Chain A
Amino acid sequence: MKVLAISGSLRRDSYNTKLLRAAEELLPPEVDFVLYPGVKDVPPYDEEDDVQPAPMAVAALRSAIREADAVLFATPEYNSSVPGSLKNALDWVSRPVATNPLRNKPVAVVGASTGAFGAVWAQAELRKILAAIGARIVDAEVAVGHAPTRFDEAGRLEDEELQDQLQETVEALLAETRARALVLV
């Protein structure tokens, strides 16, 4: 099983990327974890460019999602919503709607922010976007507020409750992925 992780924050030391790495630690050994490196390379969506062959960065993202069994998203919150770069990348992935690689794909959303609320509104918006695209969204949430104080030097979540929520989210995502594999057999 392969889980693709997509961080909505492009910064090298991003808390959301750290949160994805913390999730990686919770995966059983047989699960491959790939942190997607190329969201920053995706050009602004322009229908005129949405032709075959797709721009390389777009083709790479679509292909990475298609090959993954599940996708774990972590998003920060910019102006009460998701970062434009993440929304733009998802707009590319979503087209055409009927055959896009996120369709029916099990996905989970977590988030971290420097403020108190852990990107809860951005997470809600991201779930709405993913639902419109046709993804199979796991009903679980991790909201890491005050992110600079939440990780230890090894990148592990220090707060036990958050760690448990992340564990539950990862397990729910894997359960949904296994359930889907049974349907597709």
Chain B
Amino acid sequence: MSTTTDTRQALPVGTWQLDPVHSTIGFEVDYMGGAFRGQFREVTAELDAEGETPILTGSAKVASADLKDENLTAHIQSPDFFDAERFPALSFESSEIDRAGDQITVRGGITIKGVEKPVELTGTLGEPITDPYGRERISLKLDTKIDRQEFGVNWNVPLPDGTPALADEVKLAAELYLVREA
């Protein structure tokens, strides 16, 4: 008999596809004492919880990055930032998912600008609800912090006192609404 207590709980069985209209993948980075935010308008995600090891995958199209200024939107797609021409998408694939109640921890690899790094996402998983069309939906909210320098996204400009204007730490936040495949 095992002496350890396994607190892992299964995920709701099924293959869950993204409802893109109600989902957001955004980023936030400190800039000159404030915060600089944006989101990707074209994203994909799937949670495959059919087998023993559930797998969460997702991607965001760099060209769909949406910021409040068109010049900034253009700039972050250039080789200075994401280099969208050469690396059109950011992607994620999980290796391990732990759930304890509504708390969820997802470990896996995130690929930005062609560089893959391990990452841990934490957040919440809602209980399935049935929508008016009879489809089951779940909410999955995850966030993490990454160091953009590790991915070669290293643009910066010094402030008058010499400190860099743009922080290296970037918060990524995904609010995913997933629908169970019939």
Contact = CB atoms under 8 A, between A and B. Distances in A.
Interface of A: 96-98, 103-104, 131-137, 180, 183-184
Interface SS of chain B: loop
Interface of B: 70-71, 73-75, 77-80, 83, 85-86, 155
A146 to B, nearest CB: 31
Contacts, number: 36
Contact of A131 (B70, B74, B78, B85): B78
Given A104-B85, A183-B86, A98 B80 contact: no
Given A97-B71, A98-B70, A134 B86 contact: no
Contacts of B155: 131
Contacts of A137: 79
Taking each of B70, B74, B155, which has the highest tally of chain A beta carbons within 10 Å of its own beta carbon? B74
A180 B79 CA distance: 12
B79 A131 contact: yes
A131 B80 contact: yes
A132 B79 contact: no
24 contacts: A96-B70, A97-B71, A98-B73, A98-B74, A103-B78, A104-B85, A131-B78, A131-B79, A131-B80, A131-B155, A132-B75, A132-B80, A133-B78, A134-B74, A134-B78, A134-B80, A135-B78, A135-B79, A136-B79, A136-B83, A137-B79, A180-B85, A180-B86, A184-B85
A104 B79 CA distance: 7
A136 B71 CA distance: 17
A2 B83 CA distance: 23
Contact of B79 (A96, A97, A134, A184): A134
B79 to A, nearest CB: 5
B70 A97 contact: yes
A183 B85 contact: yes
A3 B71 CA distance: 27
A183 B87 CA distance: 10
B2 to A, nearest CB: 52
B70 to A, nearest CB: 6
Contacts of B73: 98
Which residue of A131, A134, A137 has the most chain B CB atoms within 10 A of its CB atom?
A134
Contacts of A133: 78
A76 B86 CA distance: 32
Contacts of A132: 75, 80
A37 B83 CA distance: 31
Query: What 9 pairs across the A-B complex have the smallest Cβ distances?
Result: A134-B78, A98-B74, A97-B74, A104-B85, A131-B80, A136-B79, A97-B71, A183-B86, A183-B85
